[in-house]
Structure 1
Amino acid sequence: MIAHWAPLPLRLIVGYGFCAHGFAKLLRGPDNFTGLLHAMGVPMPYLMAWITIATEIVGGMFVIVGALVPIVSVPMAIVLLVAIFTVHLQYGFSSIKLLEITPSGAHFGQPGYETDLLYLACIAALVIGGSGPLSVDGWLLRRSNAFTSKDRVG
C-alpha cells in the first residue's frame, strides 16, 4: 500500500526542479538566456527562450499537482534532451566534477548529463505508472470512472 505513494515525491522534486530552473531564467532576465541560446546557434533564440521558460514553469507546476502529466511531459522531455545534446553531453555523464578544494571552498567543473537523465527517468515513471495520490490526474480519472459507471447503470 505504501508503494501507492511513490509518485508523490517524484512529482514534487521534478516539478520543483523545473520551476526553479524556469524562475531562475526569468529572474536573471530572459534576455540573458536568449543571449546564451543565440551564442549556441539556436534558431529564433528569443522565442525558444520564452518557450523553454514557460515549459519549465508551467510544466513544473502541472507536475507538482499531478495535472495532465502525460501531456506536459512531452515538452519537458524535449527541453531535457536539447540540454543533453547541446550543453551537457560534451562534459560526460557525471553531474559532479570536483576540480579542487581551496581555502575558499570546493570548485566544480561543468556538469554532465546525469541529472537530465534522472529527470527523464522520473518523468517516464510518472507517465507509465501514473501521477499517484493527491493528483489532479487521479481526481480526473475517478470522476471519469464515476460518470462511466452511471452511464452503464442508467
Structure 2
Amino acid sequence: MLAVLNRCQDALDATRRLDFLGPLLLRLYLVPVFWMAGTQKLKDIDATAAWFGNPDWGLGLPFPELLAWAAALSEAGGAILLLFGLAVRWVSIPLMVTMLVAICAVHWPYGWQVIADPAAPFANERVLAAAEKLQRARALLREHGNYQWLTGSGQFVVLNNGIEFAATYLAMLLALFFGGAGRWLSLDYWLARRWRQQRTRMDGGA
C-alpha cells in the first residue's frame, strides 16, 4: 500500500514540470482586465480625475489628477508587462494597490456579490431586496416586450457591484507577487537566468 502511495505521489510531483502554466494563465487572464480598465481611464483622464476627486458623486480622494494618472498608467502599463512576463512581481504591487482602493472606496458598501443572487452565500439586504425588483422587471418585460428576443443574449440580472471581482483579481495578483511570472514563457525567467549565468562566470573568474 505504501509503495502505491509513493508512486502516486511521484506521479503528482512529476506534474510540477508544468508549473509554469499556473502563473502564465493568471497573467493572461488579467491582461484584458487591466488593459480595458486602464485604457478606459486614459480615454478621458479629466473625467476620471473628476470622479476620483468629487465627494458627492465620486470617490472624494485627495490629489485626484495624480491618482487618476497613476491608476490608468499602472493598469494599462501593467497589462503590457503581464503579457510579456516582465517585472511581474514589481508591477503586481501598484496593481494590488488599485484593487485595494477599488475594494475599499468603491465596492465595499455593496457587500461581496457582483451580481445580485439571493440564493448565493453572503447575500446582504441589498441583494435580497433585488430579487423582488428583478421578478417585477421580468414580469413587465414579458407583458410589454418580446421577452424571448430580449433574453436571447442572456438572462436579465441586477448588478450589485460588490467586491467579488476586485477581491479575486487581488488574490491572483498576490499569487503572482509571491510566485513570479513563471518559467519558460516570461521575460523575467530568461533575464534572471542570464543574469545568474553572468554572475556565475564573474564569481568563477574572481
TM-score, normalising length: structure 1: 0.90
* 1:13-55, Cα deviation, whole Å (9 max, x unpaired): 112211111112223x112212211222111212211111111
1:18 to 16, 34, 41: 34
For the pair 1:126 / 2:172, whether they are aligned, the reply is no
1:86 and 1:4 map into 2 onto residues whose CA distance is 34
> Residue in 2 aligned with 1:110?
160
Deviation at 1:110, TM superposition (A): 3.1
Q: 1:94 aligns with which of 89, 93, 113?
A: 113
Partner residue in 2 for 1:8: 24
Point out where structure 2 has 5 or more consecutive residues left out of the alignment.
Answer: 1-16, 118-129, 142-146
Q: Could you tell me which of 189, 192, 203 is aligned with 1:138?
A: 189
**Letter matched to residue 116 of structure 1:** A
Query: Shift of residue 153 of structure 1?
Result: 3.0
More divergent stretch after superposition (102-111 vs 82-91)? 102-111
1:47-81, Cα deviation, whole Å (9 max, x unpaired) = 21111111111112111211111211111111110
Off by >3 Å, runs of 4+ in structure 1: 101-105
RMSD: 1.7
Give the C-alpha shift of residue 108 in structure 1: 2.2
How many Å separate the matches in 1 of 2:45 and 2:198?
44
List alignment gaps of at least 5 residues for structure 1: none
Q: Does 1:52 align with 2:71?
A: yes
Once the two structures are aligned, what percentage of the paired residues are identical?
A: 33
The TM-score, its normalising length taken from structure 2, stands at: 0.68
Give the distance between the partners of 2:160 and 2:49, measured in 1 at CA.
Answer: 20
**Alpha-carbon separation, structure 1, partners of 2:62 and 2:170:** 24
More displaced stretch, 14-23 vs 99-108: 99-108
Query: Who is 1:151 aligned against?
Result: 202
